[in-house]
Amino acid sequence: MKKAIVVATVFVISTTVLPSGSAGATHFPHTRCDISGDSCVSVKRINGVRRLRLLLLFRYFPKHEVCVKGPVGERTCHTYRTRRLFGGGWGSTIAWREHYPFEGRGVYRVVWRSRGHPVGHLKFHVG
């Protein structure tokens, strides 16, 4: 139980306090966690690469789907395995441009799902 609390605390601090560069427009949140803190999603630019991240305290499900809908309206979905992440916790970290199409400037919407149920959602802006 202590390890889970430490992992959650480190994740929250690292995603809200430490600078990591801009992931787009400042009016969209870069991280969103559920009320219990058991799962968090984030869209951040790290070393110039925009990353879509799911972090879970435990391995609640073996696979999850990540869908990105661009400004043109095309939705692209891929399924990923839920893996042990460096530093503790479970989830995935995906480089957006390697797996999803670039549709130009505008707002992109990301939805994480497991077994058809939403796990989290965020938006980011490409200028």
pLDDT digits (tens, 9 = 90+) for 45-96: 999 999 999 999 999 999 999 999 999 988 999 999 999 998 889 999 999 9
Half-sphere exposure of 64 (CA within 13 A, CB side): 28
pLDDT at residue 12, rounded to an integer: 44
Pairing of strands 117-126, 106-114: antiparallel
Tokens of 79: 């399924």
Q: What is the CA radius of gyration of the chain?
A: 14
CA distance 89 to 74: 32
Q: Are 88 and 7 in contact (CB under 8 A)?
A: yes
- Write down the H helix ranges in the chain: 2-16, 96-99
pLDDT digits (tens, 9 = 90+) for 6-21: 444 444 434 443 334 4
Taking the whole predicted model, whether its pTM rises above 0.85 is answered as: no
